[in-house]
């Protein structure tokens, strides 16, 4: 190391430790940026002057450790080991010392004077942490400075420390760490150490070399092979884990003896959290919260639902009178006042449900409880043959199956991914959540909530059946793994953001529903149109009558069967199809339902025309039918398997029809 040359400081720290902030504040505009010789990694150097002396600062590439795992790590340790720095300034994040001291532990044994900067002390203080800096300094035998790199005033404390260390050249004390190596690995470490060159290699001490050898660091193994070793190196089993354990034990001891936690955790929240994450009570609580959430979302949906339901009376009837008075053709009046107004009415009701659901579930997530729900159901996921993280895909699927399918990307195993997608299909999507309560309210009034709960219960059963059918093939038991989750803290919701998202979501679904239902309504209106006024002349009637003997097997009339088929295109389409077939004022409707009912409005007409057992069968069949054509495409994109996409689609269609048949016959007993 040159004595008379410009002193050099090397900044060493993990990414996000504040190294760049420190470099920029130290050097200001006196920086040079280039590349490390022969590498693509950026090299940053700069200068600062203190007490008339110019210092050179090298910002070493950010790395998590000093192993040879990446180009950055090799550059960093080579720079230090070749004695290019007079002082290595190691940055540790004081707010998470247990993690950030790992770099210091990995540095221990490199014979270069060092300074430990405890950065982000302000954050540590807000966390209620107090660090006994003197004690830490005594243990490490190097200068330790509490620091806030972002605060320029703090730098006046740093310069004298650097100047003093340049004179004193204090090295990090490795005795305690070496004791841990000896304790953890017993004779193995001693044996390896005894083979090391007495003076080490470059600035690497024999201890550091022995540790890296045990970690199978190829770069160091090569270096050792080029040196004359005292004896042949032994083969060490589990060496990497042993040295890791030793470093970890050393860090924990340091933290325990020097960090005091002043802020006590909230006892009530702690107790609540223990219940919320317990295997049995946690599940009960989660089910209760979801149930209450559904109730609350229904209440929130009520105003828009009522508005949607009364639109035909508020707008439809006066508009029909007005159009009739100005001489508009009867068919056109029917198209605008029956179909058109109903489309707006459905879209409004659907937006109401989505508004309620979005608000409630975003609120649960905002306060930090949603992660707990996902955690307590992890075991259930395992029973379905999935990794616990699949639960996220199901939550996304409750919004949209396309999102749910994409959400399975967190699953690394292909078979489990396909299985997760197959199960996500069973989760009613946002559109289903909007359409089914609308239909259930029409047919069953206040009993709609029971229908919705039955759908949710059956969803779990359906998922279990699906997992049993596909699970053994796609996700054998031995591929299942455990997990450890970091729970987000509980906190107050950000009301502004919550309300904004809820309103945007409701508006989005309103526009989407309006578009889909309008298109489907128009298509079916055209299909049911007959130029001669005879019902039997329309295309849809001919097809419907032809297939009815088959549809009856599943408990569905030909109208509801066509609506069921259309639900595989889009769930919103269901209302459009029913709207046209029952409310078109067309010959098809006249031919199939009594004329008097038409005047009563959609809800009255449809409930008069469709028996309750059939309606229940229809709701179940439609809910568990293929979610939509875009979900089908998305499944193909995510699985990269046409065979599995078609297999899943065929399975859902068949199961939905079987379910329809079953529910219809159960319904005949009830109603």
Residues 55-84 close enough to bind other proteins by CB under 8 A: 64-65, 67-69
Q: Interface residues for other proteins in 156-215 (CB under 8 A)?
A: 214-215
**637 within 8 A of 645, measured Cβ to Cβ:** no
3-state SS track over 273-332: HHHHCCCCHHHHHHHHHHHHHHHHHHHHHHHHHHHHHHHHHHHHHHHHHHHHHCCCCHHH
**598 within 8 A of 605, measured Cβ to Cβ:** yes
Q: Which of 288, 447, 488, 533 binds other proteins (CB under 8 A)?
A: 488
In the stretch 587-616, what mask flags binding to other proteins with x, by CB under 8 A? Answer: ------------------------------
Q: Which of 20, 413, 530, 592 binds other proteins (CB under 8 A)?
A: 413
Q: Which of 486, 496, 531, 595 binds other proteins (CB under 8 A)?
A: 486
Q: Which span sits near other proteins by CB under 8 A: 194-202, 405-413, 607-615, 646-654?
A: 405-413
Residue 204 DSSP code: B
Q: Which of 42, 168, 330, 412 binds other proteins (CB under 8 A)?
A: 412
517 binds other proteins (CB under 8 A): no
**587 within 8 A of 533, measured Cβ to Cβ:** yes
Structure tokens at 62: 């950010």
We find the least distance from the C-beta atom of residue 480 to other proteins, in angstroms, to be 6
Size of interface with other proteins, in residues (CB under 8 A): 81
**141 within 8 A of 170, measured Cβ to Cβ:** yes
**Start-to-end C-alpha separation, the chain:** 93
16 binds other proteins (CB under 8 A): no
From the list 36, 215, 13, 17, the residue with the least C-alpha distance to 114 is: 13
Concatenated DSSP letters of 491-539: ----HHHHHHHHHHHHHHHHHHHHHHHHHHHHHHHHHT--TTS-GGGSH
How far apart CA 106 and CA 559 sit, in angstroms, is 72
We find the least distance from the C-beta atom of residue 372 to other proteins, in angstroms, to be 8
Q: Which span sits near other proteins by CB under 8 A: 45-53, 403-411, 535-543, 574-582?
A: 403-411
How far apart CA 578 and CA 439 sit, in angstroms, is 10
136 binds other proteins (CB under 8 A): no
We find the least distance from the C-beta atom of residue 443 to other proteins, in angstroms, to be 25
Nearer to other proteins, 201 or 371 (CB): 371
In the stretch 83-122, what mask flags binding to other proteins with x, by CB under 8 A? Answer: -------------x-xx--x--------------------
How far apart CA 267 and CA 588 sit, in angstroms, is 67
Q: Interface residues for other proteins in 363-382 (CB under 8 A)?
A: 365, 370-371, 374-375, 378-379, 382
Q: Which of 33, 150, 252, 546 binds other proteins (CB under 8 A)?
A: 252
Backbone angles phi, psi at 114, to 5 degrees: -135, 155
We find the least distance from the C-beta atom of residue 239 to other proteins, in angstroms, to be 5
Q: Which of 32, 82, 230, 500 binds other proteins (CB under 8 A)?
A: 500
Q: Interface residues for other proteins in 627-646 (CB under 8 A)?
A: 630
Q: Interface residues for other proteins in 417-446 (CB under 8 A)?
A: 429-431
How far apart CA 616 and CA 611 sit, in angstroms, is 9
Nearer to other proteins, 33 or 481 (CB): 481
Concatenated DSSP letters of 212-231: HHHTT-HHHHHHHHHS--SS
How far apart CA 563 and CA 582 sit, in angstroms, is 11
399 binds other proteins (CB under 8 A): yes
In the stretch 283-312, what mask flags binding to other proteins with x, by CB under 8 A? Answer: ------------------------------
Please list the residues that pair with 130 across neighbouring strands.
260
Structure tokens at 373: 């729900």
Q: Which of 82, 409, 542, 640 binds other proteins (CB under 8 A)?
A: 409
Phi-psi region of 63 (alpha: psi -120 to 50; beta: other; left: phi over 0): beta
Nearer to other proteins, 28 or 379 (CB): 379
Q: Interface residues for other proteins in 652-671 (CB under 8 A)?
A: none
Nearer to other proteins, 356 or 555 (CB): 356
Structure tokens at 350: 């659907």
3-state secondary structure of 496: helix
Strand ranges in 51-155 using DSSP code E only, listed in sequence order: 53-59, 87-93, 114-119, 129-131, 144-146
Q: Which of 505, 562, 568, 622 binds other proteins (CB under 8 A)?
A: 505
How far apart CA 192 and CA 182 sit, in angstroms, is 11
Structure tokens at 431: 């559109």
Nearer to other proteins, 375 or 462 (CB): 375
Nearer to other proteins, 149 or 516 (CB): 516
We find the least distance from the C-beta atom of residue 293 to other proteins, in angstroms, to be 14
In the stretch 444-483, what mask flags binding to other proteins with x, by CB under 8 A? Answer: ------------------------------------xxxx
Q: Which span sits near other proteins by CB under 8 A: 27-35, 112-120, 386-394, 616-624?
A: 386-394
Structure tokens at 639: 């699985």
Q: Interface residues for other proteins in 216-245 (CB under 8 A)?
A: 216-218, 236-242, 244-245
Residue 158 DSSP code: H
Q: Mark out the alpha helices in 141-238 (DSSP H runs).
A: 155-168, 175-185, 187-195, 206-214, 218-226
Number of other residues whose CB lies within 10 A of the CB of residue 202? 15
Q: Which of 277, 537, 641, 653 binds other proteins (CB under 8 A)?
A: 277
We find the least distance from the C-beta atom of residue 234 to other proteins, in angstroms, to be 13
Nearer to other proteins, 572 or 614 (CB): 572
Q: Which of 504, 511, 550, 629 binds other proteins (CB under 8 A)?
A: 504
Q: Interface residues for other proteins in 338-367 (CB under 8 A)?
A: 365
We find the least distance from the C-beta atom of residue 392 to other proteins, in angstroms, to be 5
Concatenated DSSP letters of 637-668: HHH--HHHHHHHHHHHHHHHHHHHHHHHHHHH
484 binds other proteins (CB under 8 A): yes
We find the least distance from the C-beta atom of residue 88 to other proteins, in angstroms, to be 19
Nearer to other proteins, 396 or 514 (CB): 396
How far apart CA 76 and CA 94 sit, in angstroms, is 22
């Amino acid at each position: 190391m040159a004595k008379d040359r410009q002193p050099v400081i090397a900044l060493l720290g993990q990414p996000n430790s504040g190294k760049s902030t420190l470099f920029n504040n130290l050097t200001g505009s006196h920086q040079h940026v280039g590349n490390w010789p022969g590498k693509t990694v950026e090299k940053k150097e700069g200068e600062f002057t203190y007490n008339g002396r110019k210092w050179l600062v090298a910002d070493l590439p950010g790395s998590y450790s000093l192993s040879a795992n990446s180009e950055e790590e090799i550059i960093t340790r080579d720079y230090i080991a070749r004695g290019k720095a007079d002082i290595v300034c190691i940055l540790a994040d004081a707010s998470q010392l247990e993690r950030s001291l790992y770099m210091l532990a990995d540095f221990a044994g490199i014979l270069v004077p060092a300074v430990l900067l405890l950065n982000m002390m302000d954050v540590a203080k807000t966390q209620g942490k107090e660090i006994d800096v003197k004690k830490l300094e005594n243990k490490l035998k190097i200068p330790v400075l509490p620091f806030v790199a972002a605060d320029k005033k703090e730098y006046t404390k740093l310069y004298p420390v650097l100047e003093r260390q340049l004179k004193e050249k204090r090295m990090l004390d490795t005795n305690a760490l070496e004791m841990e190596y000896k304790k953890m690995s017993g004779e193995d470490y001693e044996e390896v150490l005894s083979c090391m060159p007495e003076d080490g290699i470059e600035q690497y001490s024999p201890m550091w070399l022995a540790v890296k050898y045990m970690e199978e660091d190829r770069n160091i193994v090569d270096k050792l092979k080029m040196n004359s070793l005292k004896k042949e190196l032994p083969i060490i089993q589990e060496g990497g884990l042993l040295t890791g354990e030793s470093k970890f034990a050393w860090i924990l001891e340091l933290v325990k003896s020097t960090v005091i936690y002043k802020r006590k955790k909230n006892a009530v929240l702690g107790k609540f959290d223990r219940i919320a994450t317990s295997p049995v009570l946690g599940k009960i609580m989660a089910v209760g919260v979801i149930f209450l959430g559904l109730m609350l979302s229904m209440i929130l949906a009520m105003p828009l639902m009522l508005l949607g339901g009364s639109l035909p009376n508020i707008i439809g009837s006066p508009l029909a009178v007005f159009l009739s008075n100005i001489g508009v053709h009867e068919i056109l009046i029917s198209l605008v006042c029956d179909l058109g107004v109903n489309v707006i009415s459905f879209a409004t009701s659907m937006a109401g449900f989505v508004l309620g659901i979005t608000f409630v579930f975003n609120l649960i997530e905002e306060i930090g409880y949603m992660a707990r729900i996902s955690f307590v159901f992890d075991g259930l996921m395992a029973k379905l043959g999935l990794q616990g993280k699949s639960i996220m895909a199901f939550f996304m699927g409750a919004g949209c199956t396309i999102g749910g399918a994409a959400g399975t990307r967190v699953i690394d195993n292909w078979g489990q991914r396909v299985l997760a997608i197959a199960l996500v299909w069973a989760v009613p999507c946002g559109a289903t959540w909007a359409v089914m309560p609308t239909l259930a309210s029409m047919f069953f009034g206040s009993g709609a909530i029971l229908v919705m709960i039955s759908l949710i219960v059956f969803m779990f059963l359906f998922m279990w059946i699906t997992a049993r059918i596909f699970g053994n093939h796609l996700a054998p038991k031995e591929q299942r793994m455990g997990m450890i989750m970091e729970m987000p803290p509980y906190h107050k919701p950000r009301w502004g953001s919550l309300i904004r998202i809820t309103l945007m979501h409701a508006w989005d679904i309103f526009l989407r529903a309006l578009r889909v239902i309008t298109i489907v309504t128009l298509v079916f209106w055209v299909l049911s149109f007959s130029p001669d006024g005879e019902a039997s002349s329309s295309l849809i009637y001919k097809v419907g009558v032809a297939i009815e003997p088959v549809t009856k097997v599943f408990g569905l009339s030909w109208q509801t069967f066509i609506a069921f088929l259309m639900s595989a295109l889009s769930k919103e389409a269901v209302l459009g199809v029913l709207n046209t077939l029952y409310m078109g004022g067309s010959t098809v409707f006249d031919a199939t339902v009594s004329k008097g009912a038409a005047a009563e409005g959609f809800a009255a007409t449809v409930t008069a025309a469709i028996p309750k057992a059939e309606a229940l069968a229809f709701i179940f069949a439609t809910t568990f039918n293929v979610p939509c054509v875009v979900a089908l495409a998305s499944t193909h994109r995510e699985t990269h398997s046409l065979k599995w996409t078609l297999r899943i689609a065929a399975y859902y269609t068949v199961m939905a029809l079987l379910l329809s048949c079953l529910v219809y016959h159960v319904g005949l007993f009830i109603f």
